[in-house]
């Protein structure tokens, strides 16, 4: 019996090994077959799609677009710990942003990833915190006083920018426009938003450590979404997390200084019985003083940084892409110029005026009502936003399991992301010329006709629709009305324009252009 058992054991072990080997081989064959015929990103055991998404992190928006162009309207990307669902389906977008808004908040996962930079500001919270901040901000944005104040500030800053460009163009060297636009919008948001003038657009163009470090921090927190071990890196203070920590320190020093300056000014204004400035930060400070619980400097810090990313970054990157498109589509620039010339038809020009005097005189014509009549300029900026949306993809949390209108199941705890960058390039939405820069698509008989937010969600839709949309257009149209009237832009040969992977569609190396004057 012992001898029989001794022979049976090896036979049994050998058989088991053969079965395991055959099973493994079959599993590999089936797995490879499924991956080869899979339309979406490849998924591997344990790693999911992490390898593919990491290798395409630098060009992620175009990587996502490549799958949508295969006919997919919705697909998933799995990385360890989370499932991302990406969609360009118009019905899905409306469902997420409006129809079932309550089930798709920013969510705990998004908040945790972005908290180091954005804290508990309006773009990083849900529920009562979000409602209270939005209520205060919406009151200010609806104020005619703020609109009129913004018009004056934006006009003055546009003149400063034009004067700087006029001086720089005399060297006949290429000008990097993204940095100038970041300065323009940072000055704008600090003056209009916080009542503080910081002078980044002064003629000397001083260094702006805040801006550089804010961009570095923005990039670092974006990387967290695809790096499952970022908490460990944060604890060890290495890699992107070390960059983030250093950058946020500089950002915080600047921000707390702004808060202290504004608190001091408000105390002085109150003691003198003077009228308060029309800025957002003052409104939030006074809101805290008039409530049961005052707002701490940390809370105000979060408010400031959230509005800076909205009021500085998004507007500046749109202006940068707009100049890039004008430099490669001179026929559009000429049409914008002709529209602006009509504003001067009944204006007397003194031939002895210098260029700076003519810039100031032309800018004086750019009232709020005059800007609202510049339909072609508005269409050209909107066409820029369609192709290069300031927020190229926007993730939402999932509170409960749900089924999107196209039948896609999304699970609680994951993220569902609509992708304006890809959606703006969908031929079924925009026609065969979807890839072309053609402002005329927005015009009917010369009048601008907007698209539905579900088709054009660059400014979101539903309860979270962008409060600052009109203010952003006001600043962009003011700046470009001045610049396009007096200057032509030509892209520097050999300069590669590519986006930087962060929350906004910033350019990696800006946009370098040669600037020449137009007839005055």
Q: Is 484 assigned a ligand-binding role in the annotation? A: no
Q: Which residues contact 473 (CB under 8 A, 6 or more apart)?
A: 378, 381
Q: How far apart, in whole angstroms, are the C-alpha atoms of residue 206 and residue 306? A: 24
Q: How far apart, in whole angstroms, are the C-alpha atoms of residue 363 and residue 158? A: 8
Measure CA 368 to chain center: 25
Which has the closest alpha carbon to 395: 175, 91, 32, 111? 111
In the chain the first and final C-alpha atoms are separated, in Å, by 110
Contact 177, 510 (CB under 8 A): yes
Which has the closest alpha carbon to 458: 511, 415, 406, 418? 418
Contact 395, 417 (CB under 8 A): yes
HEC assignment per residue over 473-488:
HHHHHHHHHHHHHHEE
Contact 352, 459 (CB under 8 A): no
CB atoms within 10 A of CB 89: 22
**443 backbone dihedrals φ, ψ, rounded to 5°:** -115, 145
Q: Which residues contact 323 (CB under 8 A, 6 or more apart)?
A: 177, 483, 489, 511, 513
Q: How far apart, in whole angstroms, are the C-alpha atoms of residue 407 and residue 267? A: 57
Which has the closest alpha carbon to 84: 393, 389, 309, 391? 393
- Alpha helices (runs of H) in 373-468, residue ranges in sequence order: 375-387, 420-423, 427-430
Q: Which residues contact 4 (CB under 8 A, 6 or more apart)?
A: none
336: left (phi over 0), alpha (psi -120 to 50) or beta: alpha
Contact 364, 151 (CB under 8 A): no
Contact 194, 279 (CB under 8 A): yes
Residues 71, 418, 219, 241, CA torsion sign: negative
- Residue ranges of the annotated binding site for heme are 466
- Residue ranges of the annotated binding site are 466
């Amino acid at each position: 019996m012992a001898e029989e058992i001794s022979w049976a054991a090896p036979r049994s072990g050998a058989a088991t090994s053969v079965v395991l080997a055959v099973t493994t081989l079959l599993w590999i064959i089936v797995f490879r077959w499924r991956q080869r015929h899979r339309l979406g990103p490849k998924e591997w055991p344990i790693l999911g799609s992490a390898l593919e998404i990491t290798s395409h992190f630098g060009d992620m928006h175009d990587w996502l677009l490549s799958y949508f162009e295969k006919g997919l309207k919705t697909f998933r990307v799995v990385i360890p710990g989370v499932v991302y669902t990406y969609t360009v389906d118009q019905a899905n977008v409306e469902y997420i942003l409006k129809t079932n808004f309550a089930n798709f908040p920013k969510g705990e996962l998004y908040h945790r990833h972005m908290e180091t930079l954005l804290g508990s500001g309006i773009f990083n919270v849900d529920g009562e915190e979000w409602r209270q901040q939005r209520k205060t901000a919406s009151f200010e944005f609806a104020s005619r006083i703020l609109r009129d104040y913004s018009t004056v500030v934006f006009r003055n800053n546009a003149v400063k920018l034009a004067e700087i460009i006029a001086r720089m163009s005399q060297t006949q060297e290429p000008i990097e426009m993204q940095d100038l636009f970041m300065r323009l919008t940072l000055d704008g948001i600090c003056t209009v938003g916080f009542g503080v003038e910081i002078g980044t657009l002064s003629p000397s163009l001083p260094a702006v450590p805040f801006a550089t470090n804010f961009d570095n921090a923005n990039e670092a927190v974006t990387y967290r979404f695809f790096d499952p071990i970022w908490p460990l890196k944060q604890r060890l203070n290495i890699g992107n997390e070390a960059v983030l920590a250093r950058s946020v320190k500089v950002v915080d020093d600047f921000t707390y200084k702004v808060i202290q300056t504004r608190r001091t000014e408000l105390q002085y204004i109150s003691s003198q019985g003077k009228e308060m400035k029309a800025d957002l930060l003052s409104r939030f400070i006074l809101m805290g003083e008039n409530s049961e619980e005052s707002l701490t400097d940390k809370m105000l810090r979060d408010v400031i940084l959230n509005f800076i990313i909205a009021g500085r970054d998004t507007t500046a990157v749109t202006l940068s892409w707009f100049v890039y498109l004008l430099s490669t589509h001179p026929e559009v620039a000429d049409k914008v110029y002709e529209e602006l010339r009509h504003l001067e038809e009944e204006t007397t020009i003194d031939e002895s005026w210098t260029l700076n005097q003519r810039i100031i005189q032309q800018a004086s014509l750019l009232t709020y009502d005059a800007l609202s009549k510049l339909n072609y300029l508005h269409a050209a900026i909107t066409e820029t936003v369609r192709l290069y949306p300031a927020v190229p993809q926007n993730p939402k949390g999932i509170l409960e399991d749900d089924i999107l209108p196209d039948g896609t199941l999304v699970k609680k705890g994951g993220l569902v992301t609509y992708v304006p960058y890809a959606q703006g390039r969908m031929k079924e939405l925009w026609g065969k010329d979807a890839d072309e820069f053609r402002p005329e698509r927005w015009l009917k008989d010369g009048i601008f006709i907007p698209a539905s937010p579900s088709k054009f969600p660059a400014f979101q839709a539903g309860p979270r629709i962008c409060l600052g949309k009109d203010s952003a257009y006001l600043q962009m149209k003011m700046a470009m009305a001045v610049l396009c009237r007096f200057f032509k832009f030509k892209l520097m040969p050999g300069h590669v324009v590519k986006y930087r992977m962060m929350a906004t569609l910033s350019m990696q190396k800006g946009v370098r252009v040669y600037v020449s004057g137009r007839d005055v």
